[in-house]
Structure 1
């Protein structure tokens, strides 16, 4: 999904860009850069490039109405929400440099396709840690599969609301023709996120910041939920 600035009133892309810069500054400040190992940094950059490539493989009907896997849930579970938000900003910048869109497109796209799903996945992770048993099934099924699909659909709903409220497309077109495709793609996002995270926690658990062996393999920690 991407949202060209040409679809909106002139003020919205500018306001979205300013808001995005502010949130990215907060994200950069919240990241514990000194605690980031070289291997984790390389994994972060590699995942950023893979997401950028993934976003070039898309189909759609009209500008602002495209369908593709996002990978934001994987980024969030691997790196935490702050590094995920920075990674997606880098990926979108790379796409613009490669001729896929304009610079003013980044603000609305990053907010809808980056901030919304990343914060949702992080919220689900926190709730699961507090209220659900600490085991591998919960991590893969709830935090990866379910949260991955929900994050895609939440992002799609936010985009549809933005397009509809600002008059970019008629509501009947968005709800009858666009929304069902997003619902189907949310299942693809859920399956892909669950599969990727299941593989990573088995073969590269040190790349996954949200995964803790003591919690998900050895049982819940003795000091209670976090």
Structure 2
């Protein structure tokens, strides 16, 4: 439990030091500073806090031979940005604990770290590598960052969680790796699909998206 608590505390302290609440502040509207509008990130943040706790609590709310798990942390990162995603994911784990009596605080902390903080951080590093060494294109953002980055980040994080003692119940170690690989692909397909939808129809919900970078369009005044 101590490694998970240390990772969560360090990540939360770093995120708060970056002052993520600034991303939720009002912004100048069409009429300038006298006509402020609410931050567009409020909607995806509320969606994450309402829906994701049920998804994380679901494996403990029913009995199945294989507990299917969905992280969604890379998607939360793409929508909210790392400083805001970290406290949101920690809150999601706390809400999942309250929703499921079978999910103790130790298990909730493990979820917060290995399904939330670690895959979101790995996805952040993957995105930084793409920004640095790969060309800037909408398809690179959707396929390489939204899809492939999610698969790699989630799979690596779950393997680290398994090494830390968070094994799938009733599944041996070799089969557990295969199951985690397949579940990571499910995470990647869902994240890639939603990334494509949001980039096209709701780009204001994606804190990591920029028309100026990926579409070569100047920012609107």
1:19 Cα deviation from its structure 2 partner: 4.0
- Give the equivalent residue in structure 1 for 2:119: 117
Of 110, 132, 135, the match for 1:133: 135
Query: TM-score if structure 1 supplies the norm length?
Result: 0.79
Of 177, 180, 188, the match for 2:178: 180
Alpha-carbon spacing, 1:35–1:92, altered in 2? closer, same or farther (3 Å) = closer
1:29 Cα deviation from its structure 2 partner: 2.3
The number of equivalent residue pairs is 202
- Give the equivalent residue in structure 1 for 2:96: 95
Of 155, 158, 181, the match for 2:157: 155
Stretch of structure 1 that moved more, 93-102 or 186-195: 93-102
Residue 202 of structure 1 pairs with residue 200 of structure 2: yes
1:67 Cα deviation from its structure 2 partner: 2.4
Distance 1:90 1:145 in 2: 25
- Give the equivalent residue in structure 2 for 1:45: 46
Q: What is the RMSD computed on CA atoms of the aligned residues?
A: 2.7
Segments of 5+ residues of structure 1 without an aligned counterpart are 1-12, 222-226
Q: Which runs of 4+ in 1 moved over 3 A?
A: 56-62
Distance 1:187 1:70 in 2: 11
- Give the equivalent residue in structure 1 for 2:30: none
Segments of 5+ residues of structure 2 without an aligned counterpart are 26-37
Q: Deviations over 1:188-210 (max 9, x none)?
A: 11110100000001111011011
1:219 Cα deviation from its structure 2 partner: 6.9
1:60 Cα deviation from its structure 2 partner: 7.3
Higher relative contact order (CA 8 A, sep 6+): 1
Q: Contact 1:17–1:104 at 8 Å: present in 2 too?
A: no
Of 5, 19, 32, the match for 1:31: 19
Stretch of structure 1 that moved more, 96-105 or 71-80: 96-105
1:93 Cα deviation from its structure 2 partner: 0.6
Alpha-carbon spacing, 1:217–1:119, altered in 2? closer, same or farther (3 Å) = same
Q: Deviations over 1:120-139 (max 9, x none)?
A: 11011111111111110100
Alpha-carbon spacing, 1:21–1:135, altered in 2? closer, same or farther (3 Å) = same
